[in-house]
């Protein structure tokens, strides 16, 4: 199986580059499945049902989120009905929506996507490690399912790395989101799990983590309330990872970071 995982979409710049590039990548890279993190897609804060529809129309199979999932209140009835839009699995019981789902590709492969959120420097929520144990007990990698992906949404690199090692050998990939900055540690862990601490954002990098740099910088300088943060509106960069797995074992064969368009140097994909 070969899947594409795109990092946090930030505003229109992020939406535009994802909607532009995903159909081409699906075709040229023969992708079986596409996942994006959409929690900052609506003007930098949350996501709407309309945006979900636009992403699905572009070829996105599953949308993950994080701590901003509820910023647009209209999404709550929608997320309670559409299992293609996930929220962190370790949100308190009774929170609308699902934290994981089993999907089937057009070739019949079964892939589980799990959305989990960390706790260091984040909201006080349930234990992500325990939540992962409960969900992973439902499946046998390489048996009942061909692939398991974990979107680990967190601030601390140490906590995300710990999730990666904790899941090594039990899932196909652990890919990080939330910091909006791509890390240079894409590799396959000893147990066969593809890992990257943060795949980066899809948005305008002439910014402060996707937001207009002038407003963000002044917040640090003045330490006073000011203009509301708003997404930068320049050309977006798509930051993602392509992971190829073995359908029989579920282990990762390769992981390749992807950067296309915008300010960051583009990557060359050779597989």
Catalytic residues: 68
Torsion of CA 223, 9, 200, 222, to 10 degrees: -10
**Strands laid side by side in the 100-104 sheet:** 100-104, 110-117, 147-153, 173-177, 194-196, 187-188
Q: How far apart are CA 259 and CA 265, in angstroms?
A: 7
Q: How far apart are CA 94 and CA 239, in angstroms?
A: 33
φ, ψ of residue 78 in degrees (nearest 5)? -70, -45
Report yes or no: 250 and 147 within 8 Å, Cβ to Cβ: yes
């Amino acid at each position: 199986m070969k899947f594409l995982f795109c990092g946090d979409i930030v505003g229109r710049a992020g939406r535009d580059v994802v909607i532009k590039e995903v159909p081409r990548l699906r075709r040229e890279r023969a992708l079986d499945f596409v996942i994006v993190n959409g929690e900052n897609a609506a003007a930098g804060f949350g996501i709407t049902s309309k945006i979900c529809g636009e992403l699905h129309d572009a070829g996105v199979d599953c949308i993950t989120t994080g701590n901003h999932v509820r910023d647009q209140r209209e999404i709550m009835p929608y997320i309670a009905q559409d299992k293609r839009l996930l929220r962190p699995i370790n949100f308190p019981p009774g929170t609308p929506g699902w934290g994981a789902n089993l999907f089937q590709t057009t070739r019949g492969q079964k892939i589980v996507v799990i959305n989990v959120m960390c706790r260091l420097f984040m909201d006080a929520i349930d234990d992500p490690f325990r939540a992962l144990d409960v969900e992973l007990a439902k499946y046998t990698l390489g048996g009942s399912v061909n692939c398991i992906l974990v979107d680990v949404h967190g601030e601390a690199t140490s906590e995300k790395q710990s999730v990666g090692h904790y899941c090594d050998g039990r899932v196909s990939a652990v890919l990080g989101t939330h910091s909006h900055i791509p890390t240079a540690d894409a590799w396959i862990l000893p147990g066969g799990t593809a890992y990257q601490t943060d795949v980066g954002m899809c948005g305008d990098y002439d910014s402060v983590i996707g937001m207009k740099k002038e407003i963000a910088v002044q917040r640090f300088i003045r330490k006073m309330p000011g203009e509301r943060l708003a997404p930068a509106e320049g050309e977006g960069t798509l930051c993602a990872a392509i992971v190829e797995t073995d359908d029989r074992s579920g282990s990762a064969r390769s992981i390749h970071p992807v950067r296309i368009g915008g300010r960051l140097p583009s990557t060359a994909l050779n597989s």
